[in-house]
Structure 1
Amino acid sequence: MKLPEDDITPVITRIKRAHGQLAGVLRMLEEGRDCEDVVTQLAAVSKALDRAGFALVAAGLKECLASDEPADLKKLESLFLALA
């Protein structure tokens, strides 16, 4: 299912932000920064990616509800559970 650009643009922004955060985590590790600081930033990256995934699933559900075609509920459920 192709999602509307209006739904994808914020997800792309969120993933780009997470990409930058992950680069920061790598730098922190290479610099020998404190474990607590690294884990805090890693948790932020993880949360950003989770939110991006849930935003994609929500956009897919919205698109299915607006569509005249029957939704593949098993596929949507599988996508949702992949993020759990």
Structure 2
Amino acid sequence: MRGYSEHKDDHLRRLRRIEGQIRGLHRMIENDEYCIDVLTQITAATRALQAVSISLIDEHLRHCVSEAMAEGGALAEEKITEASNAIARLVRS
């Protein structure tokens, strides 16, 4: 069971909304919409993806990392490194 399983439907709903935003961006470009309007929508889509990412990281820490910490050993170290790397990638994006 994955850490996000409990909120899977919420994540899927948010991702469907983001898909709609991306399709809207495609239409905006096809229709030669004003540059700033397109950029505004790109910012909104980016923020929406970041919100999903933050939620997934939170769930990963609360579920996967906390279980590994309880077990201890190499698995715990691996999960901490994995989470740290994921956070670093998100921060750099």
The two structures have a TM-score, normalised by structure 2, of 0.79
Aligned structure 1 segments of 4 or more residues deviating by more than 4 angstroms: none
- Find 1:69's aligned residue among 27, 46, 71: 71
Larger helix proportion of the pair:
2
Give the unaligned 5+ runs of structure 2.
none
In the alignment, which residue of structure 2 is the partner of 1:47? 47
Equivalent residues of 1:7, 1:59 under 8 A apart: no
Q: State percent identity of aligned pairs.
A: 27
Deviations 1:15-61 (A, max 9, x none): 11111001000100000011111111111000001111111110000
Query: Structure 2: how far apart are the matches of 1:37 and 1:55?
Result: 27
Query: Structure 2: how far apart are the matches of 1:69 and 1:15?
Result: 33
What secondary structure is seen at the aligned counterpart in 1 of 2:26? helix
What pairs up with 1:1-84 in 2 under 5 angstroms? 2-63=2-63, 64-65=65-66, 67=67, 68-70=70-72, 71=76, 72-84=79-91
Shift, 1:81, TM fit:
1.2
The two structures have a TM-score, normalised by structure 1, of 0.87
Q: Which amino acid aligns with 2:81?
A: K
Q: CA RMSD in A?
A: 1.6
Give the unaligned 5+ runs of structure 1.
none
Query: Structure 2: how far apart are the matches of 1:4 and 1:53?
Result: 11
What secondary structure is seen at the aligned counterpart in 2 of 1:83? helix
Q: How many residues were matched structurally? A: 83
